[in-house]
Amino acid sequence: MLAEPQRQPRLERETSPPAATAPYFAGDVRSFELTRIGWVARLFRRRWFQFAVILPNQIIFWVALIGGFIGTVDPTRSFGTAITWYFWFFAVLAGALMVGRVWCQICPFGGFAEWIQRLTPWGRRERGLTLNRRWPERWAVWGIIPGALVFYLLTWVEEYYNVVGPGKPIYTSYLIIFVFALAIGTFSVFGRRTFCRYLCPLSAPVGIFSTVGVLSGFRTRDRERCMSCDTKECMRGSKVSYGCPWFEFPGSNATNQGCGLCTECFKGCPNDNVGLYLQPPLTNVHSPGKRRWDVAWALVLLWGIGWYQQWNALSWFSNARGTGIDDWLNRLTGWPHYPNPLGYLLLTAGVAAGYYLYSRAAARWAGADWRRLFTAGAYALIPVVGADYLARQLPKLWDHVTRVITTASDPFGWGWNLFGTARLPIYHTRLLPPGGVVATQVAVMAIATAAAGWAAWRIWRRDWGGERPRVLGALALAVLAAGVYTAVMYVAMQAAE
């Protein structure tokens, strides 16, 4: 099965200028190679390594899943609710923005499905439990957009059932089961990590936001040696490794967005020509090799979701906090309660349409191709949108994260005290008052806006060669407007969860 050579899916549509500089490979951007550290290299070559880093997360999520069915119905006493919505999502976003795609390395969903697919948790088998189909080319051209749409749908479902509210713990369990089932089903039909590349609901936000981080992903040390290699065991697999589950070829990989850090290419390279590097932050935002249209549209979709979640925290919009626009839409359409799907669709589509129209108008003013400007601007906005998602989690983190410590000792609410923390007086402790929460949100957005502005300048220098200053003005205006708007919204929301 997995030893059989597989085609790398056709690259998703790309929009990069013909005059763009050469893609950034390891030799162009690396500042430090982690795999030159002896113990790191030895650890990565062990077949049990990925199993070992996935297992703790696997246990946590199975406890969370089971707790929704047999544990307390009080969400404030549920470990599954606390760990998932008060800490986990924040940690995933923070890890992507600061480091890279580390979540994918420890993901329990893809990891569990892969164990089933391979019929082994860490060994190397020739055959596994999968039909080993290829993702159709006509679907591959849509890149990460299907996964972004799954995330879009799940976000609305989460709002409808108030899963993160927090709602009933069993709703969190249902959500976990859905992702597990989608992963296992996809792994059983398609080869390798097709699910992770195309359908995982977290692949779009984690993959896009990871371009801000400092891990380059696994890259080739000497590209010419890699390109002239006859065996391509990093892609085909070998006696000691599987072919890259993510269909990423180290010889042409110029971005960390698609590398799941699984270490298979590092294990399998017969020439010891693959390494894991640290790179300057934002490298894959301003210099990703080629800019992809699917990444740009997925980013805009995520941006629209962020707008919606901000607006629904305000009483004039959401009937969850008072009579507002959403309540009016529910009466108009006969929808039972918040959130109204029409409002969700119109607002998120409105953000996408607004950015599209801005790109067309700005391109006409700047004398540039609107497609290039649209895509380049979306990449420049990645730090702002990523920081927006992170800042949105801060009220829950500062207000309730201490409950993770107390509920860990009593995960099902049965009166246990496994680690001696169940009765600590920190259960109701808020780490910051509301004013402090808002201050941290505004600070995060200020830092992100400055970072995005710098990335916009680098994009202009790289993609337009420092010419057409109006292009820089258009990129900078979009970044500044987005950052200021988001900061103002967090002040208006007053630490609303």
| 16 located within any domain | no
Categorize the per-residue pLDDT at 11 as very low, low, confident or very high, splitting at 50, 70 and 90.
very low
- Tell me the C-alpha distance between 267 and 242, whole Å: 9
Please give the residue range of the domain that contains residue 340. Answer: 293-493
Alpha helices in 34-168 (DSSP H): 38-45, 49-70, 79-83, 89-98, 102-106, 108-118, 137-140, 145-161
Categorize the per-residue pLDDT at 88 as very low, low, confident or very high, splitting at 50, 70 and 90.
very high
Contact 307, 351 (CB under 8 A): yes
What's the average model confidence in pLDDT over 418-443?
95
Confidence (pLDDT) at 6 = 47
Confidence (pLDDT) at 246 = 95
- 79, 192: one domain: yes
- 98, 233: one domain: yes
- Tell me the C-alpha distance between 55 and 71, whole Å: 22
- Tell me the C-alpha distance between 11 and 473, whole Å: 31
What's the average model confidence in pLDDT over 362-381?
97
- 234, 368: one domain: no
Q: Is the pLDDT of residue 336 over 60?
A: yes
Strand 215-220, strand 32-33: pairing: unpaired
pLDDT 10s digits, 285-313: 999 988 999 999 999 999 999 999 999 88
- 225, 309: one domain: no
Q: In whole numbers, what is the pLDDT of the chain averaged over residues? A: 92
What's the average model confidence in pLDDT over 488-493?
96
| 8 located within any domain | no
| 85 located within any domain | yes
Categorize the per-residue pLDDT at 28 as very low, low, confident or very high, splitting at 50, 70 and 90.
low
Domain stop point among 239, 263, 286: 286
- Tell me the C-alpha distance between 252 and 132, whole Å: 24
What's the average model confidence in pLDDT over 53-65?
96
- Tell me the C-alpha distance between 258 and 217, whole Å: 8
- 383, 481: one domain: yes
- 172, 304: one domain: no
| 4 located within any domain | no
What's the average model confidence in pLDDT over 307-321?
82
pLDDT 10s digits, 199-235: 999 999 999 999 999 999 999 988 889 989 999 999 9
Contact 445, 387 (CB under 8 A): yes
Q: Is the pLDDT of residue 48 over 60?
A: yes
Percent of the chain with pLDDT over 90: 85
| 306 located within any domain | yes
- 101, 154: one domain: yes
Closest CA to 80 of 170, 152, 13, 151: 170
- 280, 299: one domain: no
| 49 located within any domain | yes
> Which residues, other chains included, contact 174 with Cβ-Cβ below 8 Å and sequence gap of 6+?
68
Residues 132, 138, 142, 143, Cα dihedral to 10°: 30
Confidence (pLDDT) at 167 = 87
Confidence (pLDDT) at 261 = 96
pLDDT 10s digits, 246-268: 999 988 888 999 999 999 999 99
Confidence (pLDDT) at 176 = 96
- 326, 365: one domain: yes
Residue 276, SS3 per DSSP: strand
Structurally, how many domains does the chain consist of?
2
What's the average model confidence in pLDDT over 51-77?
95
- Tell me the C-alpha distance between 348 and 436, whole Å: 29
Confidence (pLDDT) at 13 = 47
- 213, 338: one domain: no
Categorize the per-residue pLDDT at 24 as very low, low, confident or very high, splitting at 50, 70 and 90.
very low
Contact 280, 459 (CB under 8 A): no
- 309, 254: one domain: no
| 371 located within any domain | yes
Confidence (pLDDT) at 14 = 52
| 337 located within any domain | yes
pLDDT 10s digits, 176-205: 999 999 999 999 999 999 999 999 999 999
Domain stop point among 241, 256, 286: 286
Alpha helices in 130-250 (DSSP H): 137-140, 145-161, 169-189, 194, 203-209, 223-227, 233-236
- 260, 329: one domain: no
> Which residues, other chains included, contact 337 with Cβ-Cβ below 8 Å and sequence gap of 6+?
160, 319, 330
- Tell me the C-alpha distance between 137 and 253, whole Å: 20
In this structure, what token pair is assigned to residue 426? 């920190």
Domain stop point among 286, 310, 332: 286
